[in-house]
Amino acid sequence: MLISGIQPFTVLDYPEKVSCIVFTPGCNFRCGYCHNPEFVLPEKIAALRSNFIAEEAFFNFLDQRGELLDGVVVTGGEPTLMPDLENFIKKIKSRGLLVKLDSNGNRPGVLRRLIENKLLDYIAMDIKTSMPRYQSLVGKLASENQLVESMRIIHESGLPYEFRTTLVKEVHTPNVIEEMCDLLKGKKMLYLQGFRPETTLSPAFETYSSFTAEETEAIAEKFRKFVDKVYIR
């Protein structure tokens, strides 16, 4: 398993749990506003490769500190690209820890296998924008059918889950928000996150804008008509 980074402690990334975060390198999307370009762009990943963390070192850390943790957040990049993800999670679960997976949802078959094998305890899927606009925002590899299938699998899994959207004023226009409300209709939970323009995968997004607190709350109210619980993170 390729591990590009570890955050040894967080109480924010896994709701109501104390966890650590494992970052995997590489992603099949190219979201211009992404604030982790070092885990996405091949040239940046190559530059960091000598600093990757050995899997053995990570599990040594868990064996030493695991009793202080409730779980592990596996994020990226895009973790579902890792061919040994399932075995990696099995090793985490064998230590009695919960696993939260962050994913862009473009590989529903991986999500289905992990859920069927009871390897996940919480799932977070990013909803970048409305479906007709996905490829223009994240690239040609995005598949509407696969994304919608992942949403269905997650919603019907019986597991705690969240969908989440990073709001960018120039991207999430009123029409887009309306389309996203329809996309998320009937889902259980949505987190809205603020855009941070200081470090972005595409330099163009450094000139884009975040919504004010009042504007974000107004957007949240629109989603609350369609989603059971909507929070601002």
Question: How much is the pLDDT for 185?
Answer: 98
Question: How much is the pLDDT for 133?
Answer: 96
> Cis omega (within 30 of 0) on the bond before 194?
no
CB-side exposure of 191: number of CA atoms within 13 Å?
16
The first and second tokens of residue 114, run together, are 């992990």
All structural domains of the chain, each given as residue ranges with its CATH number in brackets, are 5-166 (3.20.20.70)
Q: Where are the beta strands (DSSP E) in the chain?
A: 5-10, 19-23, 71-75, 98-103, 122-126, 161-167, 189-194, 229-232
Question: How much is the pLDDT for 170?
Answer: 96
Per-run averaged pLDDT (10 residues), the chain, 233 residues = 95 95 96 88 89 96 91 96 98 97 98 98 98 96 98 98 97 98 98 90 92 97 98 95
User: What does pTM read for this prediction?
Assistant: 0.95
